[in-house]
């Protein structure tokens, strides 16, 4: 039996996934053979493969904007107790003046990855026969790519983690092997199907969104907030498509699939890194996993999908040839 842990994208909400993973691995004693992550999930999977949960918690509960951005395109201010994002015109102009292709730069995140995913960890994971896979979007080839630690050098693997986390155009664009790469969540936010294709027979998938939409967004106030709204709209539908295809593939292959959603909306902007909130989210994830009714986790729940979505995804499943 091959067990897999899949972690979706979600930026700062990754702290919630850390709490869920801590409960599953430490309290329930679960061991996994395959770790597959997208975006923030890709940043977590190396530590999880090593069982380094305390180190991962320290990492996720001590970050801030400066930890991630070398040139932050945002201004964050509090309005009526809530954090509101606006454009940092000076930083954005500076990026354009220097011929950069994005509004901001996330080189500090690249340094953070090198400090926390060490060569020793890389070698130990390979020797332990654990498979760690990260998802990236190849914008040049217009396809999703899955990068396994077993197929990469240490430097390349760090690059792929960084590329998977880079939410362009707000963060850096990874240019590698004559291609441009960005956040894996743009095409595969919840890579359940890839875990099945890699032989998983039981999957725990942590999804950093609520199971059903719980908010109506306020009208956009500036170009950045409009871009965020557009991206969020697209990613919500990518996520639902990924999950439905994953459920269909799991049912077809008789794979046990356990889904862990966030019970409430954690944030409407996952590029705001507030260490105090992230500490709360970590504990919230732990508590949620502890109380989760396992009998309902893999239930198909057609009531949260429209008939049209079910028909479309069933057709997609056939087109994707999930029987093979």
Q: Residue 319: what pLDDT?
A: 60
Q: Which of 147, 154, 146 is nearest to 123 (CA)?
A: 154
Give me 251's structure tokens: 């049912």
Residue 315 burial by CB count (10 A; 0-12/13-18/19+): exposed, middle or buried?
exposed
The answer to whether 185 and 8 are in contact (CB under 8 A) is yes
Tokens found for residue 164: 């998977």
What is the per-residue pLDDT for 81?
A: 67
Distance, first Cα to last Cα, the chain: 19
pLDDT at 292: 81
> Does residue 121 contact residue 114 with C-beta atoms inside 8 Å?
no
pLDDT of residue 145: 98
Q: Which two tokens stand for residue 270?
A: 């996952």
Strands 3-7 and 202-207: parallel
State residue 302's pLDDT score: 46
Predicted confidence pLDDT, tens digits, the chain (324 residues): 899 999 999 999 999 999 999 999 999 999 999 999 999 999 999 999 999 999 999 999 999 999 999 999 988 877 766 677 788 989 999 999 999 999 999 999 999 999 999 999 999 999 998 999 999 999 999 999 999 999 999 999 999 999 999 999 999 999 999 999 999 999 999 999 999 999 999 999 999 999 887 666 777 777 777 888 899 899 999 999 999 999 999 999 999 999 999 999 898 788 889 899 999 999 999 999 999 855 455 555 544 445 555 566 556 655 655 445
Residues 6+ positions from 233 with CB-CB distance below 8 Å: none
Q: What pLDDT is attached to residue 309?
A: 54
* Per-residue pLDDT at 1: 87
- pLDDT score recorded for residue 84: 72
Closest listed residue to residue 132, CA positions, set 171, 164, 98: 164
Pairing state of beta strands 34-38 and 3-7? parallel
C-beta separation of 267 from 13 below 8 A: yes
Query: What size, in residues, is the chain?
Result: 324
Contact present, 248 and 323 (Cβ < 8 Å) = no
Question: Could you tell me if 3 and 30 are in contact, meaning their C-beta atoms sit under 8 angstroms apart?
Answer: yes
Residue with tokens 């990026």: 95
> In the prediction, which pLDDT does 47 show?
98
* 132 DSSP β-pair partners: 35
Based on the number of CB atoms within 10 Å of its own CB, is 123 exposed (0-12), middle (13-18) or buried (19 or more)?
A: exposed
């Amino acid at each position: 039996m091959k067990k897999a842990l899949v972690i979706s994208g979600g930026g700062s909400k990754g702290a919630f996934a850390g709490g869920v993973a801590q409960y599953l691995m430490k309290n329930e004693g679960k061991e996994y053979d395959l770790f597959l992550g997208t975006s923030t999930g890709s940043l977590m999977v190396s530590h999880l493969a090593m069982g380094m949960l305390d180190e991962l918690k320290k990492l996720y509960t001590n970050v801030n904007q400066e930890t991630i951005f070398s040139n932050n395109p945002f201004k964050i201010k509090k309005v009526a107790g809530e954090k509101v994002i606006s454009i940092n015109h000076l930083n954005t102009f500076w990026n354009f003046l220097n011929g950069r292709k994005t509004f901001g730069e996330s080189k500090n995140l690249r340094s953070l990855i090198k400090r926390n995913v060490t060569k020793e960890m890389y070698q130990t994971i390979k020797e332990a026969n654990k498979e760690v896979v990260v998802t990236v979007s190849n914008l040049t080839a217009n396809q999703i790519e899955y990068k396994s630690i077993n197929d990469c050098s240490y430097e390349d693997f760090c690059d792929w983690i960084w590329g998977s986390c880079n939410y362009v155009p707000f963060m850096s664009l990874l240019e590698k092997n004559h291609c441009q790469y960005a956040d894996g969540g743009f095409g595969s936010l919840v890579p359940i199907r890839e875990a099945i294709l890699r032989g998983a027979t039981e999957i725990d998938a942590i999804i950093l969104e609520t199971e059903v939409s719980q908010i109506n967004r306020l009208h956009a106030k500036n170009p950045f907030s409009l871009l965020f709204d557009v991206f969020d709209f697209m990613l919500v539908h990518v996520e639902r498509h990924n999950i439905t295809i994953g459920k269909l593939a799991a049912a077809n292959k008789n794979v046990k699939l356990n889904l862990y959603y966030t019970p409430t909306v954690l944030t409407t902007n996952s590029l705001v890194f507030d260490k105090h909130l992230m500490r709360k989210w970590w504990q919230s994830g732990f508590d949620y996993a502890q109380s989760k009714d396992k009998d309902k986790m893999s239930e198909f729940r057609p009531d949260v999908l429209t008939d049209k979505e079910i028909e479309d995804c069933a057709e997609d499943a056939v087109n994707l040839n999930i029987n093979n």
